[in-house]
């Protein structure tokens, strides 16, 4: 199977190809054409065509086609790399190159299907009920009879996608429905979702000129980030820091998601162990929404032990085992290096490795490695490991007085706060370093797709601005346009 | 024909055995001449005369052909750092005007090579490989590449002058570019690149009748795309011939440049550095999969593709190995310098009847610590 680059409707076979092999057997799985950043820069000169192609179709029709695409993607057989690919083929291939168990690959497909199936509701929620044609025409009248204008900030959204977290793809699925094209740099080991989704979208009638697939080395990502009017990148804390303050780049890094137990509920901690365990271990702990720390003022020893007992026994299983929960680290030496780093932090004062009684956490394979769920108890937020996040089920249980929790947790993508204390709830709502807030016993991994995730994508892709037209200027709904006045 | 040839039938004109043998004889004779110069007390450089005292053999007696150079211990590149650089100037050239050219140097003391006339000789010889159709004599040049204490800047200017033209230059400090990348200051990197490209376009649009250019692949991309945004092309801007160099010169990049950037302008890839001079390439054509194979300017410099562990053994043709460079000029003698690059050993080409190298890229064991493709 050869996955060619796709230059907004034109397949492009590169002379350079990346060979993808099975993470356990080393058997070839696919070849992926590799292009350079200059091709991206050159094609971006005509990026307007991507948006124009979408705008030729009504927004309602685009949403319907995306729903069809969702069904094709999740349930149908589509042609990818010149080969017919069923959902099971997809899961096998994705698992083979990413190390994620096949059952988790299939579960991620369902998430993507859910988002595409509910695209109309999502857009309605994210746009706060704006008529979708506002994004097509650039202006329109909202339900309060007020003229609004939304100006596209880029004809395409560039995406530098990761290899290790197939769950992130839900973030870019609404983009075409907002009248914006897609320029995707697939992850080196995970080209599968972008390629299958693109094939499903095109088969469902999304214009092929609206989608670009540019697999390649880091210079492709650099070109996307430098040249797209709007782009997203998924990376480390360093990457986050690098693009902080750049309005053209939305960067998704480690989530440092947490569960915070209020003093009023902490004595009932045992009632929430399942929620905690799910938050830590779902999707093999690879997501930014997986819980990496639990904060409580007391019972941290018992909580850590209970989680260790529940998760510490998880064993490595074959990727096609329906019971498999742990993803492999497919880069040789990576799992070992991560474990050595963790191990070096475990013998510090105030730190206890709660999963130690359940056997070695590091499991070495012939060509890869695994890390079994690891629970660490910290007697305060001070130890370095208390702020750590890793790409496997790893969680710190941190002892911290409730009044200091918000000062100590640091940036938090998802916080689940289990408390009925109105004062604490108020502080949590006001805490600007928490992005998504769940109040009550909700797993951190449970996302309401009708609410924004790390910022509203509409606010990222569009600028809400004033647009006034005189009555003679025609096309605006003049009945509602307010006459222009001087001054403010 | 050498015995250990690659399985694939070459699509280029492979050198015949007589030509290969002749070039080998010439190299052996040249090696003996260079050794005699560098190790004779009246003409040799202070560095090599002093070094000879530490050797267990007498180079003047025991180095009579190229293979005899293996008797020298490995050349340590650290020797090229710091001063006094005059220790490298052969006594036979004492008192002559000298240049010092630097390489690397992002942090710490850069490596340097003293030059008297070598850079001129290297580029005059390279000039003979340039097709007149695309690099017409008398044409003016644009040097869009690294300037400062680098040999390239003066060399390109000399090449232009040697061919009867004038060279227009821009400033480019690659050490600052590397720092921008290492700091993650990508906006500054883009701004600096734009600053260089803006200057280049200004020169090209100023009626200087520039037809030839040296540039790097990254800058060529940027220039071509900037010109396209202005509704023109490299060819329409007057450029007919480009020579370019860098390890990011891959077959795919070359194909992309030929198909989409150059608009019919001719481009010849080169591989060079301060120590070697300039290795020309055999014609880069689609039938050969856009393979870029370089041939060193023998006998003045020799490239060998050697085994990663046994650096005195060349790999079979088509095999992968590390670049080992030997410089053999009267100004500079450097035996067996292990470069930070690797590649595949190529069969001798009719025009250059000695070993070549293709697929040049940063040495994989060092690549993680190397910032490449920066300007």
Distance in angstroms between the alpha carbons of the first and the last residue of chain A: 61
Provide mean pLDDT across the span A130-143. Answer: 92
d(CA B43, CA B94): 9
Per-residue model confidence as pLDDT tens for chain B (375 residues): 444 444 568 888 999 999 999 999 999 999 999 999 999 999 999 999 999 999 999 999 999 999 999 999 989 988 999 889 999 999 999 999 999 998 766 677 888 999 999 999 999 999 999 999 999 999 999 999 988 888 888 999 999 999 999 999 999 998 999 899 888 888 899 899 999 999 999 999 999 999 999 999 989 999 999 999 999 999 999 999 999 987 678 889 999 999 999 999 999 988 888 888 889 888 888 888 888 999 999 999 999 999 999 999 999 999 999 999 999 999 999 999 998 899 999 999 999 999 999 999 888 775 444 443 333
A42 interfaces chain B, CB cutoff of 8 Å: yes
This prediction's pTM: 0.87
Q: Which pLDDT score is estimated for A481? A: 42
Mean per-residue pLDDT of chain A: 92
Query: 3-state SS of A179-244?
Result: CCEEEEECCCCCCHHHHHHHHHHHHCCCCHHHEEECCECHHHHHHHHHHCCEEEEECCHHHHHHHC
The answer to whether the Cβ–Cβ distance between A16 and B290 falls below 8 Å is: no
Give the residue from A189, A63, A162 showing the smallest Cα distance to A121.
Answer: A63
Tokens of A177: 């429905």
d(CA A316, CA A324): 7
d(CA A467, CA A119): 28
Chain-centre distance of CA A199, in angstroms? 20
Tokens of B237: 């801007």
A224: nearest CA in chain B?
A: B186
Q: How many CA atoms lie within 13 A of B312 on its CB side?
A: 10
The answer to whether the Cβ–Cβ distance between A219 and B221 falls below 8 Å is: no
Under the banding of pLDDT at 50, 70 and 90, the label for residue A202 is very high
ipTM: 0.81
Q: Identify the structural domains of chain A with CATH numbers, from first to last.
A: 2-253 (3.40.605.10), 257-439 (3.40.309.10)
Residue A235 has pLDDT above 50, yes or no: yes
Q: How many CA atoms lie within 13 A of A401 on its CB side?
A: 2
Structural contact between residues B141 and B159, judged by C-beta atoms closer than 8 angstroms: yes
Tokens of A65: 């086609």
Which chain B residues contact residue A7 at CB under 8 A?
none
A45 interfaces chain B, CB cutoff of 8 Å: yes
Level-2 CATH architecture, domain B17-369: 3-Layer(aba) Sandwich (3.40)
The answer to whether the Cβ–Cβ distance between B256 and A39 falls below 8 Å is: yes
| Alpha-carbon distance B18 to nearest alpha carbon in chain A (angstroms) | 35
Give the residue from B344, B342, B324 showing the smallest Cα distance to B334.
Answer: B324
Domain map (residue ranges) of chain B: 17-369
Cβ-based interface (< 8 Å): residues of B facing A: 184, 186-187, 190, 221, 225, 228-229, 250-253, 255-256, 260-261, 289-290, 373
Residue B327 in 3-state DSSP?
strand
User: Each residue of A237-268: pLDDT tens digit?
Assistant: 777 777 878 899 998 888 999 999 999 999 99
pLDDT > 70 in chain A, percent: 96
Q: Which pLDDT score is estimated for A483? A: 45
Provide mean pLDDT across the span A203-228. Answer: 94
Q: Which pLDDT score is estimated for A474? A: 54
d(CA A417, CA A428): 8
Which chain B residues contact residue A247 at CB under 8 A?
none
Residues in chain A: 488
Backbone dihedral region for residue A359 (phi beyond 0: left; psi -120 to 50: alpha; all else: beta): left
């Amino acid at each position: 199977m050869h996955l060619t680059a796709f230059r907004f409707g034109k397949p492009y076979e590169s002379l350079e190809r990346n060979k993808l092999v099975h993470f356990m057997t080393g058997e070839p799985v696919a070849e992926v054409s590799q292009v350079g950043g200059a091709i991206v820069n050159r094609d971006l000169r005509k990026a307007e065509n991507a948006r124009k192609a979408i705008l030729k179709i009504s927004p309602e029709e685009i949403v319907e086609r995306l729903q069809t695409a969702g069904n094709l993607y999740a349930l149908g057989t589509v042609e990818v790399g010149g080969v017919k690919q069923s959902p099971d083929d997809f899961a096998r291939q994705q698992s083979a190159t990413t190390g994620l168990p096949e059952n988790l690959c299939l579960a991620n497909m369902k998430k993507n299907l859910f988002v595409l199936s509910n695209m109309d509701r999502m857009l309605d929620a994210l746009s706060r009920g704006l008529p979708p044609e506002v994004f097509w025409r650039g202006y329109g009248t909202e339900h309060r009879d007020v003229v609004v204008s939304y100006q596209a900030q880029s004809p395409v959204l560039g995406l530098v996608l990761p290899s290790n977290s197939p769950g992130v793809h839900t973030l870019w699925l609404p983009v075409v429905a907002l009248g914006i094209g897609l320029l995707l740099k697939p992850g080196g080991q995970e080209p599968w979702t972008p390629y299958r989704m693109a094939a499903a979208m095109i088969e469902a009638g999304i214009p092929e000129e609206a989608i670009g697939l540019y697999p390649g080395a880091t210079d492709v990502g650099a070109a996307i980030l430098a040249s797209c009017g709007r782009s997203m990148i998924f990376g480390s804390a360093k990457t986050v820091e690098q693009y902080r303050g750049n309005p053209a780049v939305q960067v998704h890094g480690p989530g440092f998601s947490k569960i915070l137990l209020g003093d009023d509920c902490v004595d009932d901690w045992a009632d929430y162990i399942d929620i905690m365990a799910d938050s830590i271990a779902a999707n093999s702990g690879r997501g930014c929404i997986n819980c990496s720390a639990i904060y409580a003022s007391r019972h941290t020893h018992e909580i850590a032990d209970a989680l260790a007992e529940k998760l510490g026994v998880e064993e490595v299983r074959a990727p096609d085992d329906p019971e498999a929960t742990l993803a492999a680290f497919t880069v040789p030496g990576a799992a070992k290096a991560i474990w050595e780093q963790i191990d070096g932090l475990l013998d510090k004062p105030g730190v206890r490795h709660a999963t130690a009684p359940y056997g070695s956490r590091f499991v070495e394979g012939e060509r890869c490695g695994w890390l079994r769920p690891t629970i660490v108890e910290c007697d305060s937020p001070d130890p370095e490991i208390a702020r750590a996040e890793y790409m496997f089920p790893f969680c710190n249980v941190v002892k911290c007085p409730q009044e200091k929790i918000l000062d100590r947790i640091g940036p938090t993508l998802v916080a689940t706060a289990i408390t009925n204390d109105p004062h604490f709830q108020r502080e949590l709502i006001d805490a600007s370093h928490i992005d998504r807030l769940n109040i009550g016993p909700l797993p951190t991994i449970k996302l309401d797709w009708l609410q924004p995730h790390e910022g509203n994508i509409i606010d990222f892709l569009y600028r809400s601005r004033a647009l006034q037209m005189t009555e003679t200027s025609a096309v605006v709904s003049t009945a509602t346009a307010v006459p222009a006045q001087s001054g403010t | 024909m050498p015995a250990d040839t690659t399985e694939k039938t070459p699509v280029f004109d492979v050198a015949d055995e007589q030509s290969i043998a002749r070039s080998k004889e010439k190299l052996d004779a040249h090696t003996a001449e260079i050794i005699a110069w560098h190790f004779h007390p009246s003409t040799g450089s202070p560095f090599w005369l002093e070094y000879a005292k530490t050797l267990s053999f007498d180079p003047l007696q025991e180095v009579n052909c190229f293979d005899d150079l293996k008797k020298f211990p490995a050349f340590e590149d650290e020797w090229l750092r710091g001063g006094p650089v005059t220790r490298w100037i052969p006594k036979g050239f004492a008192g002559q005007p000298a240049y010092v050219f630097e390489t690397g140097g992002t942090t710490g003391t850069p490596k340097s090579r003293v030059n008297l006339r070598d850079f001129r000789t290297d580029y005059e010889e390279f000039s003979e490989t340039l097709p007149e159709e695309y690099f017409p004599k008398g044409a003016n040049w644009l040097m869009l590449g690294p300037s400062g204490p680098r040999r390239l800047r003066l060399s390109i200017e000399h090449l232009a002058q040697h061919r009867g033209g004038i060279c227009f230059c821009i400033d480019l400090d690659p050490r600052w570019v590397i720092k921008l990348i290492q700091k993650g200051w990508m906006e500054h990197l883009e701004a600096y690149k734009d600053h260089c490209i803006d200057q280049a376009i200004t020169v090209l649009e100023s009626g200087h009748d520039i037809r030839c250019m040296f540039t790097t692949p990254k800058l060529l991309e940027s220039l071509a795309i900037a010109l396209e945004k202005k509704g023109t092309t490299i060819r329409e801007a007057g450029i007919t011939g480009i020579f370019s160099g860098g390890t990011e010169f891959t077959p795919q990049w070359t194909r992309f440049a030929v198909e989409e950037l150059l608009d019919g302008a001719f481009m010849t890839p080169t591989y060079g550095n301060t120590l070697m001079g300039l290795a020309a390439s055999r014609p880069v054509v689609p039938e050969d999969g856009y393979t870029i194979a370089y041939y060193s300017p023998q006998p003045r410099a020799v490239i060998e593709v050697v085994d990663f562990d046994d650096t005195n053994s060349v790999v079979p043709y088509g095999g992968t190995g590390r670049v080992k460079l030997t410089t053999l000029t009267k100004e500079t003698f450097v035996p067996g310098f292990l470069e930070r690059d690797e590649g595949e050993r190529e069969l001798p080409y009719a025009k250059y009847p000695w070993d070549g190298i293709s697929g040049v890229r940063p040495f994989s064991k060092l690549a993680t610590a190397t910032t490449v493709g920066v300007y």
